[in-house]
Amino acid sequence: MNKHYTSITTNRTPRPRSERLREQGIGSTNSTVVLNAKAGGGGNSSPTGDGHTHANKDALDEISTDNNGYQYLTQLKEVTVTDPDTQETHTEYQRVKEKVKAGFADEATHAAYAHDLDPDSPANQRFLSRLLNDVAAGNITFQQAIYVLGIAVFRGEAQFGTFVRSLYAGTGAGIDPQGNAEFESVRVRTYFEAVELIINRLSAIEGDQLLTEADTIDSVDDLGNNCYGLHLHSKWEGYFTAQAVNNVIKGIINNLGATALGMTTPGTNAAMYTSWMRVNSVNAANNYIEVTLYPDNETPAGQNFPPCELMKIARWGNQTDTTRQSCLYLSSTEGRIVKLTGVTQPIIGQSNYGAVFGSLPDFVRSMTDSEGNLLPIRQGLDYMYIPGVITMDIIRIDWQGNPIVNYVDRGQYDPNGLYYCRTVNPATGEYETSDVWYMGCKWRCCYNLTTTAPRWNNTHWAMVEGNPAFTVEFNDTDVLFDPDRFDLTLTIIAKLYNQDVTADILAADVQWTRYSEDAAGVERVASDNAWAIRRGNSGKSIHLTGGDIDFNGYIPRVVRFTATVTLRDGVGNEAAADSASFQLN
């Protein structure tokens, strides 16, 4: 059955807590609040109040919560709105409800749970995850050790220490993505497995190194009469010595360091000397040869020594087989690489030096020319001494390292030709400066790929051979002197380097003078000076008539006209001068 409840409150005088409300008289009337409720949900409640409202109610209304306790803010914000019809956008203010965001993880001291950060929260982009796969965009430095429980995979190169890649001057260590490793040293406790093992790639030598057939003596049998049986060391399984009969053998022993360190057989004496021998017979199957010592006076040092155990021996030449009479040797003491040819004995002569690279032998430095002068060999420079050279290109340089140019005579000047100045000619490959012949003179190109013809005032060319004289003459003087009908025109023609340069002469640079004598042979100075004042600046051409003779009732014994011409350079200075004369007979 239904139950009914009635709750009645007792009337009293309300007393607001706020002094401001009490001063305004709010709450001074009696009021009764009755709340009726019916069991089973059939009742209703209707509370009544005094109409009081807080001043910050609008701000409080912007705050709301949901059933999970998350807070939201409803605020006016400027948003971008797209018109659905025109697709145009504009901004307007709307009330937007947004969830209150948590701070970053290291600052969110009030966050109750880690899941307060959304999966797409920007905070997740600032920190690495310890639970999920993650990628760091920048460099990470660990001040402590790193322990990897699984497999450590390096997609790029792994470097250790200060890695500098170099076989001779490198530091640190590194392994590239292809698996190529470079480091200082390695220690293997059990075994080392490799497809190819290259040992001692860097080889340093002192003294001489022969590039011929060589062996090491394991033991020596003294056969008497300066003859010895040499048991040679097998360098590998199946090795046979390449020594041949009549080979001239040079043997060297130097065990001073090994003896001092106790690395030789007990009782072995310290030794350092050279032995010279000739091969008498060869047993290649047993790596055994028999040799004879050369006499002391047939060796370079004037004293010979017997072979011994551990001595290195090498072919120096051969007494009869010409194919075995040459060898190469590198000498760090002499500072040169030498190819010997025609070697038939221990002592070699000038004719045995087939080629030398580096420091020249003394006999080359003492060579002289036909007049007894030593070769112009510079001290401190390396040279190559060789009988013949077949080469395609030789580039010579001066002491400053600049290429030395080859002056190539290209023949007569061709207006369509390509001429070079200190440049490689692509057609020949030579470092070339071109020379050409023009108007009987040889000209040298001074401007690469110039297209202008050689000329005295053309800076693209320089005259190096030919007639350098500046000359002046008249064009036509083959006339007969007729006092009654004298009429003559003299025109100068100026030439330099066999070229007509009259056009380059200024009219003011041509001065005309006259020399004449009366019938008695007396010079007419006053008359000549008067003529020079009147006609001296006539330019490159002068027209002469009877008035230029001054007959004065007689025929002068001598009348001579002279043109003095000056050629000037581009700045007005005198470059050359000459004169031409015409005399009436």
Domain shared by 224 and 332, yes or no: yes
Query: In which band, very low, low, confident or very high, does the pLDDT at 71 lie, cut at 50, 70 and 90?
Result: confident
Model pLDDT for residues 2-48, shown as the tens digit of each residue: 666 666 655 666 666 666 666 666 555 554 444 444 444 444 545 55
Helix (H, G, I), strand (E, B) or coil at 527: helix
Q: Give the max Cα distance, the chain.
A: 184
Structure tokens at 245: 């009969």
CA dihedral 158, 164, 169, 171 (to 10 degrees): -60
Question: Contact at 8 Å (CB) between 331 and 324?
Answer: no
For residue 411, what are the domain limits?
406-464
CA distance 314 to 275: 11
- Last-in-domain residue among 11, 26, 51: 51
DSSP conformation class of 382: -
Domain shared by 217 and 360, yes or no: yes
Domain shared by 429 and 500, yes or no: no
pLDDT the model gives residue 54: 66
Cβ contacts of 445 within 8 Å, gap of 6 or more:
419, 420, 421, 433, 434, 435, 436, 460, 461
Nearest 5°: phi and psi at 433?
-125, 125
Averaged confidence pLDDT in the chain: 84
CA distance 204 to 199: 13
| pLDDT value at 104 more than 50 | no
Question: Residue 132 domain-assigned?
Answer: no
Using the structure block, give the residue that is written with the tokens 């760090």: 332
The better pLDDT of the pair 230, 156 is held by 230
367-to-206, 357, 431 alpha-carbon distances in Å: 29, 17, 31
Question: Contact at 8 Å (CB) between 217 and 243?
Answer: no
Question: Contact at 8 Å (CB) between 408 and 425?
Answer: yes
Query: In which band, very low, low, confident or very high, does the pLDDT at 195 lie, cut at 50, 70 and 90?
Result: low
Domain shared by 268 and 230, yes or no: yes
Helix (H) or strand (E) holding 466: none
| pLDDT value at 565 more than 80 | yes
Would you give the distance in Å from CA 212 to the centre of its chain? 39
Q: How confident is the model over 574-578, as a mean pLDDT?
A: 93
pLDDT the model gives residue 108: 45
Cβ neighbours of 176 (radius 10 Å): 14
pLDDT the model gives residue 110: 45
Model pLDDT for residues 383-441, shown as the tens digit of each residue: 999 989 998 878 888 888 888 999 999 999 999 999 999 999 999 888 999 999 999 99
| pLDDT value at 265 more than 60 | no
Q: How confident is the model over 168-182, as a mean pLDDT?
A: 86
184-to-12, 142, 168 alpha-carbon distances in Å: 99, 25, 10
Q: How confident is the model over 281-292, as a mean pLDDT?
A: 95
Query: In which band, very low, low, confident or very high, does the pLDDT at 239 lie, cut at 50, 70 and 90?
Result: very high
Domain shared by 534 and 411, yes or no: no
Query: In which band, very low, low, confident or very high, does the pLDDT at 105 lie, cut at 50, 70 and 90?
Result: very low
Domain shared by 331 and 257, yes or no: yes
**CATH number where 534 lies:** 2.60.40
Question: Residue 153 domain-assigned?
Answer: no
Question: Residue 381 domain-assigned?
Answer: no
Helix (H, G, I), strand (E, B) or coil at 285: helix
Domain shared by 335 and 448, yes or no: no
Structure tokens at 103: 């701070």
pLDDT the model gives residue 297: 95
DSSP conformation class of 505: S
pLDDT the model gives residue 457: 92
Question: Residue 420 domain-assigned?
Answer: yes
pLDDT the model gives residue 111: 46
**How many structural domains does the chain have?**
4
CA distance 481 to 485: 8
Model pLDDT for residues 445-503, shown as the tens digit of each residue: 999 999 999 999 999 999 999 999 999 999 877 777 788 888 899 999 999 999 999 99
The better pLDDT of the pair 94, 406 is held by 406
**Dihedral (CA of 343, 344, 348, 352) sign:** negative
Share of the chain above pLDDT 70, in %: 81
Domain shared by 214 and 258, yes or no: yes
pLDDT the model gives residue 258: 47
Question: Residue 130 domain-assigned?
Answer: no
CA distance 566 to 34: 139
**CATH number where 428 lies:** 2.10.10
Vertex 525: Cα angle to 524 and 527 (nearest 5): 70
Model pLDDT for residues 531-557, shown as the tens digit of each residue: 999 999 999 999 999 899 999 889 899
Structure tokens at 350: 């000038």
Domain shared by 352 and 238, yes or no: yes
pLDDT the model gives residue 266: 53
pLDDT the model gives residue 109: 45
| 82-96, 239-253, 516-530: least confidently modelled range | 82-96
Model pLDDT for residues 314-371, shown as the tens digit of each residue: 999 999 999 999 999 898 888 999 999 999 999 999 999 999 999 999 889 999 988 8
Question: Residue 277 domain-assigned?
Answer: yes
Question: Residue 176 domain-assigned?
Answer: no
Share of the chain above pLDDT 90, in %: 47
Domain shared by 18 and 40, yes or no: yes
Question: Contact at 8 Å (CB) between 473 and 580?
Answer: yes
| pLDDT value at 504 more than 60 | yes
